[in-house]
Amino acid sequence: NELRRTNPALVAEGQFMPPTLKLAVNADSLSSWFMDAMAAFTREGNELLDISIDDQDHTAKRIKEGAVMAAVTATSTSITGCNTWPLGSMRYVAAASPAFMTQHFCEGVTPETIARAPMLSYDRKDGMQDKWLHAQGLASRHGPPKHWLPSAYAFVRACEAGVGWAMQPTVLIQRYLDAGTLVEVLPDTGVDIPLYWAHARNAQAGLQRLTHCVITAAAGWLQPLPADGPQAGATAPKSS
């Protein structure tokens, strides 16, 4: 819209050129709550979205590099030239199928047994499984054999089918846990990943409505961040 206003000669008379906003979103968010934000945003405007999938620990870098205007990120620290809004936390649990548990962990979940059990990894940036292993004292010198599977849907299906175990977001697998087709590898060892919405400060006016849609959608899916967490008291901007 701004481009058309300041450069009318670029658009032939009678032609329509909707603006496109470049964003970076992690796969689990895109497969769950972010779709609600996208639907709400596109219902009320003519803007188009160009979404790149990246790990939540790396999306902030995409903004710094100027590759995207906004991103869902796990970075709570200040990003130069950006505004950051808290969204909530996404809970992850180590999950596998009952058959997989019987096959690989009949003697219990130990550093020795888990070092032999196939593990799923989304891509080379996905360090969530390894972090969980270290936190539980299960890491070994030689990590588990890995299947690489860059699809949020396939990631869940592979676990359910007994291909391997992986850290899964409960927003995507709760129904499988309830049905018993997936179980926790170690109960009560879930990890809460805080998520934030960051956008270039110089694009704040143009992204105000999108930011409102993102924060509102996240509130319906994610757990609130602790009251004393970074920017925990921030509220969604008014939609215009």
Bridge partners (DSSP) listed for residue 148: 121
Buried (b) or exposed (e) across 140-155, using 16+ Cβ within 10 A? eeeebeeeebeebeeb
Single-letter amino acid code for the residue at 60: A
- The pLDDT of residue 162 is 98
Q: Are 186 and 136 in contact (CB under 8 A)?
A: yes
What's phi and psi for 12, nearest 5 deg?
A: -65, 150
- The pLDDT of residue 112 is 95
- The pLDDT of residue 3 is 43
- The pLDDT of residue 228 is 63
What stretches in the chain show pLDDT beneath 50? 2-11, 230, 232-233, 239-240
Q: How many CB atoms lie within 10 A of CB 170?
A: 16
Q: What is the pTM (predicted TM-score) of this model?
A: 0.86
